[in-house]
Structure 1
Amino acid sequence: MGKALYIAEKPSVAQEFAKALKINGQRRDGYLESEDSVVTWCVGHLVTMSYPEKYDIKYKRWSLDTLPFLPRDFKYEIIPAVQKQFNIVRGLLNRPDVDTIYVCTDSGREGEYIYRLVAQMAGVHDKTQKRVWIDSQTEEEILRGIREAKDISEYDNLSASAYLRAKEDYLMGINFSRVLTLRYGNSVSNYLKTKYQAISVGRVMTCVLGMVVRREREIRSFVKTPFYRVLGSISLEGENFDGEWRAVEGSRYFRSPYLYKENGFKEKQYAEKLIGELSQNSPLVCQVEKIERKKENKNPPLLFNLAELQNVCSRLFKISPDETLRIVQELYEKKLVTYPRTDARVLSTAVAKEIYKNISGLRRYPQIDGAADEVLEMGTYKNIAKTRYVNDKQITDHYAIIPTGQGLSALNGISLTAQRVYETIVRRFLCIFYPPAVYQKVNLVTVMEKEHFFSSFRVLQSEGYLKIAANSFAAKKASEKSQDSEEEENTSCNEVLLAALQKLKKNDILSVDSLSIKEGETSPPKRYNSGSMILAMENAGQLIEDEELRAQIRGSGIGTSATRAEILKKLFSIKYLSLNKKTQVITPTLLGEMIFDVVNCSIRQLLNPELTASWEKGLTYVAEGSITPQEYMDKLEHFVRVRTVQVEQSNYQYALRQFFDAAAENYKKKPSASKRGGKEL
């Protein structure tokens, strides 16, 4: 009987497979072996796509004569730094005594691509190849994955989409970077007085640059608009609260041109005039026209996917998406959490049936003050499959990031930030087994001289899941900050005032202590921070005006959970964008704005989320088998060919000078240091 070969993506993962399989055999150079099994590993990518000059030396020199570059057959090569491990893996894959290969690379498109390239370059034939698909690195999950491994052919569509994604990035990057550099690189370098300037563009990277530059320019062009609201200070049983005037139907200012929206005036004089009109009778009183009391349930949030976790960690810990991914990957490799590169925020029905195991394991985790015991006692986990937190249709590759309940001993060996990220994941997970938070909400409408005043009150009556939502290290930040925006809309309310409001009836007369003017002004759009940028990339559909296209691409977004952090990191490294590490606020650089202007003139589609997200959706269709790889490739080649020729024939040098001047005005050094959006200029 032949041996089984298990091939993992990293040495640390291979070690976990060896432990689960009880392989106590010899540790060889680059693999482990026992009587019936061999475990080996890649070190990430072992194979990469060859540069154009490997096809023909003429492509080494950047020239318009050799564009567009669209090879019929793509060339691949071994990455020199990992040649030794590739040779070991190739030898094992082709060993005569190995008859079954278990592919244990990461369970996703990129993991599939890593193995397929190795198998292609190693010339694997006539072997049984099975795909192991797991959601965590616990021994139980590894053994289940091996037991239920499917024939690798069932993942051929996923493999095809992985190859196409790489070809797409390769063809767009090479053709568009070369043609734009040749056409406009000198314009950029001459303006910046630098020796040489390559223009680097990419399918996802350039779209993200576009989002940041557009937002920055919106902020610059924003003009603050002052407005004036009229408030009445109303008295009820010794307590005071505010009523906000609104120009609803029946008001003397209904649809008036003097209004800024319905609750304020553009000019102070009209607010003063209204107060004068309402103050003619003394004492000031108002009458209750409508009172509405209702209970409001606030459900626990959905579980974490990678984008949501990166957003929360950016806000709570001021760490970059790249750092969050590194930390959660470490937690995954130490068996503490499930697979991190996921887009789903729900659980599968299969996992829901066994979820008590995860909860039980958390009983030994001291930071949650017995919350796991409480969940087991309540028994709510038994019906979790009937809730919105379980939905097989919303899962593509993996379910949400949750704690495994295992590996707790590893917590002492990781950084304080990593421990806090883990606690954040644990609390989000346990919240879904608690009841909703219950608020008592009261909406009150009062009338003075036919003018309506509106008050809204919201009081927490039952904590529900909020009881455990707050992290032990930053209670207010973790559980309450997300509610700040909601609380601002409601008047503060204590128990005495709430009791008085409960007795209030229609037509009751209340005293008005005073009428006042509250001045405000409109706010500019907010700059992206590293977390909100990741969410904006995930929800690219929100930036698309075409409703039909938005519906089609929902769930695809820009890039994938596995690549978004790396894309941002590259934009910072090539100095197109700037990141303030303290605040995580992202702003463009002058170079980034100039590249934006070049692309905006020549290949505008690259800056828009429509194109980028629809390409991503196309790859999903290939993975699902809805379209063939050849159909996708034909469209890709057509796009690259047409746009490359378009840039070759363009001539925007003169127009660009004006755009560069306009952008440069915002980067002139001031006599003293000044700050813009957290970035020192």
Structure 2
Amino acid sequence: MRLFIAEKPAVANDIVKALGGNFTRHDGWFESDNAIVTNCFGHIIESQPPENYNPEYKAWKVETLPLRLYPVKYQPVESAAKQVKTILELIRRGDVTEIVHAGDPDDEGQLLVDEVLEYAGNTKPVKRVLINDNTLPAVKKALANLKDNRDFKGLYLKALARSVADAVYGFSMTRAYTIPAKARGYQGVLSVGRVQTPVLGLIVNRTRANQNHKSSFYYTMTGVFQRGADVIRANWKPGEFAPLTDRKLLDKAWADGTAASLAGKPATVEAAATDDKKTAAPLPFNLVRLQQYMNKKFKMTAQKTLDITQQLREKYKAITYNRSDCSYLSDEQFSESPQVIDALKSVFPQSLDIDSARKSKAFNSAKVTAHTAIIPTASVPDVNALSTDERNVYLAIAQHYLVQFMPEKAYQEVSVAIQCGDESFYARARKTTDSGFEAFLGAETTDEGESEDNDDSAFELLCKIRTG
């Protein structure tokens, strides 16, 4: 009998559906003739309080710092005590011969189930299933490709080390700051944490900077050069000895003096070139880039974006693993792309220049980490039934997937370098020859470096310029 331990109920339900057969629902698990499926609710095991490691830790004293909280002593999370008891009983059942770890495919998911097995004192063999995509075919495929859980011990130890370090640092530093503060009459607790304290510092520093901000001006120079009937506008390029502060010219007198000294002087075109260039589509999203995109375009908070991706993954099975830190996809996902592209036609019925044989730089198994980028699955939801926010997040993910199969944006770029006196000036212009993916995705999502003039007349003008 195999026992599957999932990270959360939704994944347990997916495993039950993928396994098939006649499962009976019990209070906290499902069971068939040859399999049991149960689940955690996130972390259901936690470290015991410091005084359980050493009775001396009960009193807050500087002499006991730093606290020593390893090896970890576990206890059930109070709100999950009943489910912990259920899982321990299932692990220890005589007919259970093998356990399948079904935590999320990341270090925290690895720790979450492994710590339960550790707490249970498990000695039975453990397999690992990695479910990135919660659609039925993908879960079935993952279940047919079980790994040895021992291969993921490094991932477990990584998460465990972070967890222990956070506890030691948080408890110890909180006491280290609070003890002297109370000696000076402070009545509260000065809470310190590895993440919370730096974030608080960033907020305080930014708030103080805003409160103390004083307006200041910086200056740029634009050269207007005439060649026959043509007038060329070029931007000043600061030289080695320009008096810049944080790469900005703040000295108005210097700017005025330099401009006056250059007025009427002859200028020379040092270089002029026209190049054919291409811009590849942006990579598919990882979580952070998706959160940044949704905030910039829809003013959506990072937490809301995360919550919506969780819904899209668990409720609708519409996207792959949503907490990914990776923007690349595997070669296997490239081979599966025709089915996903075909499914997305219901969302994007317009004619699109998509070729499933076109392989973008996003498909690179060597750059895939524990996860792949966040992409749509072949289980496409009815976008009209989604909330506005859900639809916006889903469409952003789907669009950034589809552009991987669209042509690159092609353009010509002309650049001119002009020398006037001791100062340098430059002008650039671009002309799009093929919008490629940008016709679908839009120009606002691409980052093409410094701003250039995209006006066709400016492009044609600069193309006529020759050196000399």
Measured in 2, the distance between the counterparts of 1:26 and 1:313 equals: 42
User: What pairs with 1:361-440 in structure 2 (closer than 5 Å)?
Assistant: 361-366=343-348, 369-371=350-352, 374-375=353-354, 378-381=355-358, 384=359, 387-409=360-382, 411-440=383-412
Q: Does 1:167 align with 2:139?
A: no
Q: Does 1:318 align with 2:303?
A: no
| Amino acid in the other structure paired with 1:204 | V
Measured in 1, the distance between the counterparts of 2:34 and 2:89 equals: 17
| Amino acid in the other structure paired with 2:65 | L
TM-score normalised by L of structure 1: 0.62
**Are the aligned partners of 1:50 and 1:76 in contact in 2 as well (CA < 8 Å)?**
yes
SS at structure 2 position matched to 1:380: coil
CA drift of 1:217 comes to 5.8
Deviations 1:170-206 (A, max 9, x none): 111111111111023565x75xxxxx23111122333
CA drift of 1:87 comes to 1.9
| Amino acid in the other structure paired with 1:38 | I
Deviations 1:113-165 (A, max 9, x none): 1212222333333x332111121111222112211112222222222222222
Deviations 1:246-292 (A, max 9, x none): 576xxxxx8477x8899968234762574366348xxxx86645322
Find the counterpart in structure 2 of residue 68 from structure 1: 66
**Are the aligned partners of 1:236 and 1:497 in contact in 2 as well (CA < 8 Å)?**
no
SS at structure 2 position matched to 1:7: strand
Find the counterpart in structure 2 of residue 291 from structure 1: 272
RCO higher in structure (CA 8 A, sep ≥6): 1
**Are the aligned partners of 2:338 and 2:356 in contact in 1 as well (CA < 8 Å)?**
no
**Are the aligned partners of 1:230 and 1:271 in contact in 2 as well (CA < 8 Å)?**
no
Query: Which of 100, 103, 106 does residue 102 from structure 1 map onto?
Result: 100
**Are the aligned partners of 1:242 and 1:491 in contact in 2 as well (CA < 8 Å)?**
no
Query: Which of 324, 328, 334 does residue 346 from structure 1 map onto?
Result: 328
Query: Which of 143, 147, 150 does residue 146 from structure 1 map onto?
Result: 143
Measured in 1, the distance between the counterparts of 2:188 and 2:390 equals: 39
CA drift of 1:7 comes to 1.7
CA drift of 1:77 comes to 0.8
CA drift of 1:346 comes to 0.7
User: What pairs with 1:554-569 in structure 2 (closer than 5 Å)?
Assistant: none
CA drift of 1:468 comes to 1.6
**Are the aligned partners of 2:234 and 2:427 in contact in 1 as well (CA < 8 Å)?**
yes
**Are the aligned partners of 1:246 and 1:264 in contact in 2 as well (CA < 8 Å)?**
no
| Amino acid in the other structure paired with 2:165 | E
User: What pairs with 1:512-551 in structure 2 (closer than 5 Å)?
Assistant: none
Find the counterpart in structure 1 of residue 81 from structure 2: 83
Q: Does 1:243 align with 2:234?
A: yes
* Residues 212 and 504 (structure 1), Cα distance of their counterparts in 2 relative to 1, 3 Å cut: same
Deviations 1:410-454 (A, max 9, x none): x45542112111111111111122222122212223466786543
**Are the aligned partners of 1:291 and 1:505 in contact in 2 as well (CA < 8 Å)?**
yes
SS at structure 2 position matched to 1:459: strand
Measured in 1, the distance between the counterparts of 2:268 and 2:280 equals: 35
**Are the aligned partners of 2:69 and 2:167 in contact in 1 as well (CA < 8 Å)?**
no
Measured in 2, the distance between the counterparts of 1:448 and 1:418 equals: 55
* Residues 246 and 94 (structure 1), Cα distance of their counterparts in 2 relative to 1, 3 Å cut: closer
Find the counterpart in structure 1 of residue 25 from structure 2: 27
* Residues 110 and 176 (structure 1), Cα distance of their counterparts in 2 relative to 1, 3 Å cut: same
Cα RMSD, aligned residues only: 3.2
| Amino acid in the other structure paired with 2:138 | E
Find the counterpart in structure 2 of residue 48 from structure 1: 46
* Residues 184 and 467 (structure 1), Cα distance of their counterparts in 2 relative to 1, 3 Å cut: same
Measured in 1, the distance between the counterparts of 2:434 and 2:9 equals: 49
* Residues 360 and 452 (structure 1), Cα distance of their counterparts in 2 relative to 1, 3 Å cut: same
CA drift of 1:34 comes to 2.1
**Are the aligned partners of 1:363 and 1:370 in contact in 2 as well (CA < 8 Å)?**
no
* Residues 35 and 322 (structure 1), Cα distance of their counterparts in 2 relative to 1, 3 Å cut: same
SS at structure 2 position matched to 1:101: strand
CA drift of 1:359 comes to 1.8
* Residues 185 and 335 (structure 1), Cα distance of their counterparts in 2 relative to 1, 3 Å cut: farther
Deviations 1:217-261 (A, max 9, x none): 66677776644444344567977552234576xxxxx8477x889
| Amino acid in the other structure paired with 1:331 | L
| Amino acid in the other structure paired with 1:205 | Q
**Are the aligned partners of 1:431 and 1:469 in contact in 2 as well (CA < 8 Å)?**
yes
Find the counterpart in structure 1 of residue 190 from structure 2: 199
| Amino acid in the other structure paired with 1:155 | F
Q: Does 1:179 align with 2:176?
A: yes
Find the counterpart in structure 1 of residue 14 from structure 2: 16
TM-score normalised by L of structure 2: 0.88
Measured in 1, the distance between the counterparts of 2:445 and 2:150 equals: 48
| Amino acid in the other structure paired with 1:95 | R
CA drift of 1:405 comes to 2.3
| Amino acid in the other structure paired with 2:337 | I
How many residues matched? 467
Deviations 1:24-63 (A, max 9, x none): 4322211222222222111112211111233455533323
Measured in 2, the distance between the counterparts of 1:324 and 1:262 equals: 35
* Residues 153 and 464 (structure 1), Cα distance of their counterparts in 2 relative to 1, 3 Å cut: same
Query: Which of 278, 285, 290 does residue 263 from structure 2 map onto?
Result: 278
**Are the aligned partners of 1:103 and 1:130 in contact in 2 as well (CA < 8 Å)?**
yes
* Residues 428 and 72 (structure 1), Cα distance of their counterparts in 2 relative to 1, 3 Å cut: closer
Measured in 1, the distance between the counterparts of 2:158 and 2:246 equals: 49
Query: Which of 474, 486, 490 does residue 450 from structure 2 map onto?
Result: 486
Name the % identity: 28
* Residues 440 and 60 (structure 1), Cα distance of their counterparts in 2 relative to 1, 3 Å cut: same
* Residues 457 and 263 (structure 1), Cα distance of their counterparts in 2 relative to 1, 3 Å cut: farther
User: What pairs with 1:2-13 in structure 2 (closer than 5 Å)?
Assistant: 3-13=1-11
* Residues 101 and 466 (structure 1), Cα distance of their counterparts in 2 relative to 1, 3 Å cut: same
